[in-house]
Amino acid sequence: MLTHPQIWRAIDALAARHGMSPSGLARLAGLDPTTFNKSKRSADNGKLRWPSTESLAKVLSATGASLADFVGLVGEDGAARLRMVPLIGLAQAGAAGFFDDAGFPVGSGWEDIAFPEIADEHCYALEIAGESMLPVYRDGDRIMVSPSASVRRGDRVVVKTRAGEVMAKQMGRMTAQRIELKSFNPAFEERGFALNEIVFVHRIIWASQ
């Protein structure tokens, strides 16, 4: 699993690679100069914070670095620790043959993308198409999904129903009989299902934007 220190260390390393401080990197990307300051990396209560995917996208664009370049800086010593992760489009994922009975990716229809090593050997990626998940996810965004990660209320999740529908939502209430899902786009209604209608609920752990 990716950790807060790994991601912040990679930002520091990216800044150093271009002869800048983290504040200089933020200015180069058109961000508030304090975006990557040490004080912004944790809340007043000590809870660690993640940098936003938007800020990461802006610094990658400003420096000309690719996502692969960035994740190559994630390791303890700045060395790449990558693995190949299967990827398909979210719209494709509901078709038969892409997941086994346990909800793990199978079959030959997947592409492979490089991603930092994480603990879940069954992790996979889905590519968003269309605007139905705005403003959280945009067309072309890729979300990394972990079948083994625990899921709690408020988490962003990928859900597959027995009817073959695959969707990305925010977890609402879940009882012993029912699950409620919130849509990211307010133009789309919330969804609810009996648990026996659900094949799997997997947590989204990362998004590239």
- pLDDT tens digits, one per residue of 50-76: 999 899 999 999 998 888 788 778 765
Find where tokens 């752990």 sit: 205
For residue 120, give the amino acid letter: D
Per-residue pLDDT averaged across 164-186, rounded?
95
Give DSSP secondary structure letters for 61-130: HHHT--HHHHHTT-STTS---EEEEEEEETTTTTSTTSB-TTS-B-SS--EEEEEE--S-TT-EEEE--S
Say if residues 50 and 17 touch (Cβ distance below 8 Å).
Answer: no
For residues 44 and 115, the model is more confident at 44
pTM: 0.65
CATH number (3.40.50.1390, 3.20.20.70, 3.30.1310.10, 1.10.260.40) of 4-71 reads 1.10.260.40
Please give the share of the chain, as a percent, with pLDDT higher than 90: 54
Does domain 82-208 correspond to CATH entry 3.10.20.30?
A: no
| Per-residue pLDDT, 79 | 42
| Contact present, 11 and 20 (Cβ < 8 Å) | no
Phi, psi of 8 (to 5 degrees): -65, -35
- Helical (H) or strand (E) element with 167: strand 166-174
Query: Given a cut of 90, is residue 168 above it in pLDDT?
Result: yes
- Whether 138 contacts 113, CB under 8 Å: no
Nearest to 26 by CA among 10, 15, 39, 16: 15
Strands, sheet with 166-174, edge to edge from the N-terminal-most edge strand: 111-116, 82-89, 124-127, 142-146, 198-208, 156-161, 166-174, 178-182, 191-194
pLDDT category at 2 given cuts 50, 70, 90 is: confident
Of 180, 182, 171, which is closest to residue 149 (Cα–Cα)? 171
Q: Decide if pLDDT at 158 tops 70.
A: yes
Residue identified by tokens 């983290």 is 22
Q: CATH 1.10.260.40 occupies which residues in the chain?
A: 4-71
CB environment 70-100: b (16+ within 10 A), e (fewer): bbbbbbeeeeeebeebbbbebeebeeeebbe
**Where in the chain are all domains bearing CATH 2.10.109.10?**
82-208
Average pLDDT across the chain, whole number: 87
- Given a cut of 90, whether residue 159 has pLDDT beyond it is yes
Cα–Cα distance, 92 to 86 (Å, whole number): 13
